[in-house]
Amino acid sequence: MINAIANGLVGSVRAAHRKKMLLSGIALAAVLLIAIGYLTVGALRVSPFSGTYRVKVQLPESGGLLPHQDVALRGVKIGTVQSLDITQQGVDAVAEIQSKYKIPVSAKVRVTGLSPAGEQYINFEGVSDQGPFLKDGAVISQGAQVPVTLAKLLADADGLLAQVDPKKLELIKKELSLSKEGPRKLTEIIDGGTFLLNTLDSVLPETTSILRSSRVVLTLASDKNSGIQATANELAAPCAVSTRCRTATAHSSTGPPTPCTRWTTCSRTTRTPW
């Protein structure tokens, strides 16, 4: 029995040795097929055995989105971007989504990135799991949001920096360099500003309440503006009479007293005959 098994193994090895070129080719082909399958399923994440449906997302601009990038539902990958088509209104992104994932029609669509360097993808943010759901051929024409591109950010930053006066910056630099305490003072100024902002943030509800209450008070005062003006006029008239009485008394100090039948001050009114 053992001799038969040993003879069979020896014969197999001899046959393989005679056909080693053929066996090497078959082994290389098998390794190549395994590698292609791994890249397709593992790296490219293509699922050949699952059904898909396509949804068109109309974007105002690409926002850095490229074909073959991910489509996610609440951050979980559910498909890929098949193509980007330029239109008169912007860009149409065709997303291929796996059939087992249902996206509500009310879901928000956003083009976002994995990092500031890029890697944009389409993310659906469903507010609920209730239908109706998107179907094959559905078009999302409104509500899609795209991030601010790096080019636009740099353009806005350039406009901001253009408003800075270089002479004033040079003056600040000069003032800080006059003393070795300059960096410390600048740090204290920044820390003070941070403390002020934190304090204002901590009392934000109280500040909002005060502003709302002040609005009511000022509105009532505005409604009573005519009454306040009339009261001020009534208070101003007795003060004028008081001034005239004092003037008449001053002129009559060297002669006979000048009668003044009413003596009035701004705080109270009394009748004192001179």
Of 185, 76, 86, which Cα lies nearest the Cα of 121? 76
The percent of residues above 70 in pLDDT, for the chain, comes to 77
| Cα–Cα distance, 218 to 224 (Å, whole number) | 10
| Cα–Cα distance, 118 to 64 (Å, whole number) | 7
Least confident of 26-35, 52-61, 94-103, 178-187: 178-187
Q: Mark residue 235 as left, alpha or beta (left: phi above 0; alpha: psi -120 to 50; beta: remaining).
A: alpha
102 CB-near residues (< 8 Å, 6+ apart): 129, 131, 133, 134
CB 80 within 8 A of CB 95: yes
pLDDT at 18: 75
Q: Using alpha carbons only, how large is the chain's radius of gyration in Å?
A: 43
139 CB-near residues (< 8 Å, 6+ apart): 55, 56, 58
Count Cβ atoms within 10 A of the Cβ of residue 62 and give its class: 0-12 exposed, 13-18 middle, 19 or more buried.
middle
What pTM was estimated for this model as a whole?
0.44
Q: Quick check: helix, strand or coil at residue 119?
A: strand
Interval 139-150: pLDDT, tens:
988 888 888 777
pLDDT at 88: 87
Task: Parse the chain into domains and list their residue ranges.
Answer: 2-43, 52-151, 166-201, 228-270
Least confident of 76-80, 173-177, 192-196: 173-177
Interval 213-265: pLDDT, tens:
877 777 777 766 677 777 777 776 665 555 555 555 544 445 555 444 444 44
Q: Extract the tokens encoding 271.
A: 């009748």
Of 139, 148, 123, 125, which Cα lies nearest the Cα of 64? 148
CB 111 within 8 A of CB 65: yes
